[in-house]
């Protein structure tokens, strides 16, 4: 493939960013544009289909996968600010459409050009510097799909290392799941609560002021638990910090005044 001087990148916004955290979408656009690409946002994108795929509704998942492939296959690259959604395109679409050779082929071609945002910046666009500063200590949660399906671990750390003033303190049990798991967290809430409880305990233990991660699912889960416990740790998507757009309210905080921490409630 001959890559044009300025590659055209289709941004898969992801449904959680679209709904809960538009800032991450804008941060993604800025980071990819700063790296010399043209970013477009296909308007008709909805969802990568994971809720159906992981619930065993293969037919719906296939239909949504075909829609997304048709929408994105004209781009040089597809980037998503989520290891989970990128993993869906990169790893699962070809398997999901394996019973139709034509679509499997299209899925494979798209998979080869689809990337999670931070690994796209680091591995494909060879970004080593970012124009961002962030004073204070942060910790980082590795989302499971990004970590184990896509091998994303060093890339966010490398780019965070380029953020002026930022100090990274690693989590203990960093490779443990936060307990989100899509519908898992509502189907088995007690087990999910245990997992997110362990995760936020590790977050609080670091003493970091901010938790960063690359997936909105994990972030909503962890931010929601920290909020319920009244812990004053801010949660943000890693793209917000890398793009120098981490000045607004953190996830689960309202503008302009940050909420006051509340005491922990027993049993929560």
Partner 1 sequence: MQPTTKDFPENARRALGDVPLQAALGNIARGWQEKRTQAVAALPEFEALRTAAAAIKDHTIAHLDEYLERFESRVTEQGGTVHWCRSAEEARHTILAICHRLNARTVTKGKSMVAEEIGLNDFLGGHGIAPVETDLGEHIIQLRKEAPSHIIAPAVHLTQAQVAETFRAGHHGLPTNRRLDDARVLVDEARNVLRPRYFAAEVGITGANFLVAETGSAVIVTNEGNADLTQLLPKAHIVLAGIEKLVPTLEDAATILRVLARSATGQEMAAYTTFATGPRRARDVDGPEEFHVVLLDNGRSALLGTEFQDILRCIRCGACLNHCPVYTGIGGHAYGWVYTGPMGAVLTPALLGVAEAGHLPNASTFCGRCESVCPMRIPLPKMMRHWREREFAAHLAPHAIRRGLSWWAFFARRPALYRAAAGALARWLALMGGRLGYVRTLPLAGGWTAVRDMPAPSGRTFQQLWAMRAQPAAKKGSRP
Residues 6 or more apart from 235 whose CB is under 8 A from it? Answer: 210, 211, 212, 213, 219, 222, 223, 226, 250, 251, 252
Residues 72-91 that bind partner 1 (CB under 8 A): 72, 74-75
Burial of 33 (0-12, 13-18, 19+ CB in 10 A): middle
Residues 2-61 that bind partner 1 (CB under 8 A): 8, 10, 13, 15, 17-22, 24-26, 38-47, 49, 51-58, 60
Residues 212-231 that bind partner 1 (CB under 8 A): 220-221, 223-225, 227-228
Indicate the residue among 6 and 133 with the shorter CB distance to partner 1: 6
Residues 138-177 that bind partner 1 (CB under 8 A): 144-145, 148-149, 173, 175-177
Residues 104-143 that bind partner 1 (CB under 8 A): none
Q: Give the three-class secondary structure for 256.
A: coil
Report strand pairing: 133-141 vs 164-168: parallel
CB 27 to partner 1: min, Å: 11
| Chain length of the chain | 268
Residue 67 near partner 1 by CB under 8 A: yes
As a whole number of angstroms, the distance between CA 116 and CA 96 comes to 19
The number of C-alpha atoms within 13 Å of 236 and in the hemisphere containing its C-beta is: 23
Indicate the residue among 40 and 167 with the shorter CB distance to partner 1: 40
Indicate the residue among 44 and 126 with the shorter CB distance to partner 1: 44
């Amino acid at each position: 493939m001959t890559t044009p001087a300025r590659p055209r990148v289709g941004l898969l916004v992801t449904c959680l960013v679209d709904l809960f955290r538009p800032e991450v979408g804008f941060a993604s656009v800025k980071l990819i544009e700063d790296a010399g690409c043209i970013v477009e946002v296909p308007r008709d994108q909805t969802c990568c289909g994971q809720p159906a795929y992981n619930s065993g509704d293969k037919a719906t998942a296939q239909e949504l996968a075909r829609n997304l492939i048709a929408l994105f296959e004209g781009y040089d690259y597809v980037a998503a600010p989520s290891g989970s959604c990128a993993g869906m395109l990169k790893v699962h679409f070809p398997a999901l459409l394996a019973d139709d050779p034509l679509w499997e082929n299209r899925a494979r071609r798209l998979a080869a050009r689809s990337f999670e945002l931070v690994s796209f910046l680091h591995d494909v666009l060879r970004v080593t510097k970012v124009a961002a500063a962030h004073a204070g200590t942060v910790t980082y949660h590795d989302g499971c799909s990004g970590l184990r399906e896509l091998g994303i671990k060093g890339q966010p750390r490398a780019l965070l290392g380029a953020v002026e003033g930022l100090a990274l303190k690693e989590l203990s049990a960093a490779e443990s799941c936060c307990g989100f798991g899509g519908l898992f967290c509502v189907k088995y809430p007690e087990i999910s609560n245990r997992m997110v409880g362990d995760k936020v305990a590790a977050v609080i233990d670091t003493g970091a002021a901010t938790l960063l991660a690359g997936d909105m699912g994990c972030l909503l889960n962890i931010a929601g638990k920290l909020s319920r416990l009244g812990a004053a740790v801010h949660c943000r998507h890693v793209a917000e910090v890398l793009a120098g757009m981490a000045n607004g309210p953190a996830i689960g905080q309202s503008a302009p005044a940050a909420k006051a921490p509340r005491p922990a409630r027993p049993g929560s």
